[in-house]
Amino acid sequence: MSTNHFAVVTHQDGQQITIQLQGDLDLAASGEFRSFMEPLVTDSTNQLTLDLSKLTYIDSTGIGILISIVKVRKAAEAPFFVEHIPSQVQKLFDMTGISKFLTSSQ
């Protein structure tokens, strides 16, 4: 087994932007991820979705970034969805209480 290097794959269809997160979203990946997301998050004209199907790990740093995104999008009344949450990630979302702030488009 090897380390699960963090990566993002972007799918854009008009104003609909889906970001697929891959690998481990940990402290080491958090700076890169935050910078990548910032222009997308602050553009309230798009419909932003995170696809977590290939996310292998998340910690409180990653969860902190997600809640920051939720707050910015809510303040701007801009759509933000989180989809395909793996079970071990869902467990952490439920444990921390972030689940109630996340919406799925499906």
Partner 1 sequence: MTDSKIQQQVRLTLPAQADYVDLVRLTLYGIASKIGFCYEEIEDMKVAVSEACNNAVLYAYNQDGGMVDIVFDIGSNELGLTIRDEGSSFRAEQETQELLGWHDKSIDEVEAGGLGFYLMQALMDEVEVVSIEGRGTEVRMKKRIQQFSEELR
Name the residues that contact partner 1, by CB under 8 A. 1, 3-4, 24, 26-28, 30, 57, 59-61, 63-65, 67-68, 70-71, 74, 88, 91-92, 95-98, 100-101
Give least dist CB 60 to partner 1, A. Answer: 4
* Distance between start and end Cα atoms, the chain: 34
Measured distance CA(14)–CA(10) in Å, rounded: 12
Which one, 10 or 97, has the nearer CB to partner 1? 97
Give least dist CB 76 to partner 1, A. Answer: 13
Give least dist CB 97 to partner 1, A. Answer: 3
Question: Which candidate, 42, 47, 45, places its Cα nearest to that of 71?
Answer: 42
Measured distance CA(31)–CA(33) in Å, rounded: 5
